[in-house]
Amino acid sequence: MPGPGCGFGYRSGDMLQPVGSLPPATYWRRRLVVAVILLGLILLTWYVVFGGPGKSDGNAEPASHSSSSRSSSSSSPPSPTVTRTTTAKPPPPGARCAASALDVAAATGKSAYKVGQQVALYLVVTNTGRSACVQDLADKQVDLTVFTGDVRVWGSHDCQVQPGTAPQRLGVNKPVRVEVIWTGKTSQPGCGGTRLQVQPGTYRLYAALNGVSSAPVIFTVTS
């Protein structure tokens, strides 16, 4: 049995209450010293094994750029002649429009443009049948041509025809417009020859869809 001051004493059934010949504070201080030593040994072991917090092995790869930034930098520019956005979507329900039920007209954004300005041209289609129908309004279906006098100066299909389909439901007597932007330069079928800026004068626009042609609409180009 340990003598006075030689160790810890405990009362039977109570491990937390120190007993012995020394004051209780002495035993609590000894317990605290032992606990601090044990905690220090645990922290030292963890640091040796795991290398401490935040350590890097120096082999982590740098973060890569997102795919969207790469794709945007490599995208090709749009056509300078025809500006059109086609969105792929399922065709709407309904029967296909008969050519006899379509009224096709041509229109321009303004009645006069200056030399060098982009010209907004439109095909306007109206379903004159008895019920709604579905018509493909894709680029290959919409044909716009510009004349001055008897000379053909530009056509929307001369240099580019965008692929795909764009079926759209046409309500009865509800006009739908399709816009094509013309840069104001001449063109030939197959995009041959040199494209030149048109000069001041009077011009006629024709529109055609599904075999149906419009009457001409007149606009001018000024200096």
The domain tally of the chain equals 2
91-112 pLDDT tens trace: 567 799 999 999 999 999 999 9
User: Which domain covers residue 17, as residue numbers?
Assistant: 10-50
184-220 pLDDT tens trace: 999 999 999 999 999 999 999 999 998 899 999 999 9
- Residue 80 in domain: no
- Residue 110 in domain: yes
What is the rounded CA–CA span in Å between residue 205 and residue 207? 7
What is the rounded CA–CA span in Å between residue 197 and residue 79? 16
What is the rounded CA–CA span in Å between residue 24 and residue 8? 10
Whether residues 213 and 135 share a domain: the answer is yes
Mean pLDDT of 29-47: 76
- Residue 134 in domain: yes
- Residue 23 in domain: yes
Whether residues 18 and 121 share a domain: the answer is no
Take residue 35 and report the two structure tokens written for it. Answer: 């606990």
Take residue 214 and report the two structure tokens written for it. Answer: 């419009």
Whether residues 40 and 103 share a domain: the answer is no
- Residue 83 in domain: no
- Residue 5 in domain: no
Using 50, 70 and 90 to split pLDDT, how confident is the model at 39? confident
Q: Residue 152 sits in a domain of what CATH number?
A: 2.60.40.10
Whether residues 23 and 112 share a domain: the answer is no
Take residue 153 and report the two structure tokens written for it. Answer: 């100066």
Report whether 92 contacts 166 (CB < 8 A).
Answer: no
Three-class secondary structure of residue 154 per DSSP: strand
Whether residues 117 and 182 share a domain: the answer is yes
Alpha helices by DSSP H, listed for the chain, are 24-50, 67-74
Assess whether pLDDT exceeds 70 at residue 135.
yes
What is the rounded CA–CA span in Å between residue 178 and residue 122? 5
- Residue 58 in domain: no
